[in-house]
Amino acid sequence: MDDIDRMLVGLLQEDATRSYAALGQAVGLSSGAAHERVRKLRERGVIRRTTIEVDQEALGRAVTAYVLVDGGSWMGDAGAALAAIPEVEEAHVIAGPASVLLKVRTAGTRELQDVLRRVFQVDGVTGTRTIVALETLFERTLK
Amino acid sequence: MDDIDRMLVGLLQEDATRSYAALGQAVGLSSGAAHERVRKLRERGVIRRTTIEVDQEALGRAVTAYVLVDGGSWMGDAGAALAAIPEVEEAHVIAGPASVLLKVRTAGTRELQDVLRRVFQVDGVTGTRTIVALETLFERTLK
DNA sequence: CGTGAAAGGGTCCCGGA
DNA sequence: TCCGGGACCCTTTCACG
């Protein structure tokens, strides 16, 4: 995990369609060496996978909301129960004004209401507070 | 934007290294036709770009936090001012207990404190409340 | 851990339906 | 809009430094 590895990760975050030849040239290595480094970054799990970034609105996901979830008994795997709700994009156990914070994306407010109902049915949940995003200023990948 | 397009988007979200031949086979088209559809999805902006998913901890980003930002005058482009802080991954104007919600990733709590200081210096900001993630149950791409 | 080259496969652009 | 073919580039591997 040296500076060259960090450069390769940065370049691939910007555009993962770059060829190994171009990557190598950018960091001062042959295509073979660049290929080998990227292979190892994948192997070690630094690079999890290569994906596409999708415009969620174009796919009918117009509403973004954050949900603060209250409740005490997080010993049972609430994680799995929350993961079973397809509209939940993230779930974090938090320090602060609630137990868990969710990021949720739905087609509309009606569907959001439905997701909240399902969250409420998860074991140990005693309440939810929802924060709706009116406008997303930006969502980006770091560095 | 028909069912085939949606399938192609789903397949590429899972693994963007798939060949057009494999994509075509999966949706019942030739490699050329699959290529053409994906090209148009990019052109229309449904597919924004192809990237890699990086293990943030492996890159020295151990702390994830959400910051509720208070303040009234969001006419000046606070968006640009917030985007100038590299540790801010997302920024949303919200309805609820604050004006803006940020997602922030830093190496440690010391760096988080530094980010909060810079957020406070943005025009119109009157206060912040920070929610630190103790454990991330999951972060995934939808569908 | 790096290079350079060779073989196989994929991308990408056609003419035609 | 899709198919099939072909030229070209890239990936992937390997012997060697």
- Statement: residue A106 has pLDDT above 80: yes
Residues facing residue B92 across a β-bridge? A136, B101
pLDDT in tens, B30-86: 999 999 999 999 999 999 999 999 999 999 999 999 999 998 766 568 899 999 999
pLDDT grade for A108, boundaries at 50, 70 and 90: very high
Q: Phi/psi at A92 (nearest 5 deg)?
A: -125, 135
Nearest to A138 among B49, B55, B90 (CB): B90
- State the helix-helix crossing angle for B20-27 and B3-14, rounded to 10 degrees: 130
Shortest CA distance to A70 belongs to which of A98, A101, A91, A102? A98
Nearest to A96 among B47, B132, B138 (CB): B132
Q: What is the pLDDT of residue B75?
A: 54
Q: What is the pLDDT of residue A76?
A: 64
Query: Nearest CA to CA, how far is A109 from chain B (Å)?
Result: 13
Rounded, the Å distance between the CA of A18 and C1' of D10 is 10
Distance from CA of A56 to the nearest CA of B (A): 8
What residues form DSSP beta bridges with B51? A51
| Mean pLDDT of all residues belonging to chain A | 94
CA distance A27 to chain B (A): 18
pLDDT at B143 (0 to 100): 83
Identify the CA nearest to B87 among candidates A140, A42, A103. Answer: A140
3-state SS, residue A74: coil
Q: How many CA atoms lie within 13 A of A74 on its CB side?
A: 17
Chain A hits for B137, Cβ within 8 Å: 78-79, 82-83, 91-93, 100
Instruction: Identify the pLDDT of residue A63.
Output: 98
- What Rg do the C-alpha atoms of chain B give, in angstroms? 20
Residue at minimum CA to C1' distance from nucleotide D9: A19
Comma-separated ranges of CATH 1.10.10.10 domains in chain B: 3-44
Q: Of all nucleotides in the shown strands, which has a C1' nearest the CA of A4?
A: C1
Residues of chain A with CATH 3.30.70.920: 57-133
A38/D11 CA-to-C1' distance in Å = 13
Joined together, the tokens standing for residue A60 give 């009918």
User: Residue B74's pLDDT is what?
Assistant: 65
Asked if residues B97 and B68 have their Cβ atoms less than 8 Å apart, the reply is yes
Kindly report, residue by residue over B101-118, the tens digit of the pLDDT.
999 999 999 999 999 999
Lowest mean pLDDT of A41-50, A75-84, B82-91, name the range. A75-84
Whether residue A126 has pLDDT greater than 80: yes
Q: For the segment A29-69, what is each residue's pLDDT rounded down to a tens digit?
A: 999 999 999 999 999 999 999 999 999 999 999 999 999 99
The one-letter amino acid at B99: S
- For range B1-20, the mean pLDDT: 95
Is the pLDDT at B90 greater than 90, yes or no? yes
Q: Do A47 and B66 touch (CB under 8 A)?
A: no
Write the Ramachandran bin of B72: left for phi over 0, alpha for psi from -120 to 50, otherwise beta: alpha
Class of domain B3-44: mainly alpha
| pLDDT > 90 fraction of chain A, expressed in percent and rounded | 90
Cα B99 to Cα A128, B93, B109, distances in angstroms = 19, 6, 24
Mean pLDDT of A127-131: 97
Q: Is the pLDDT at A75 greater than 60, yes or no?
A: no
CATH of domain A57-133: 3.30.70.920
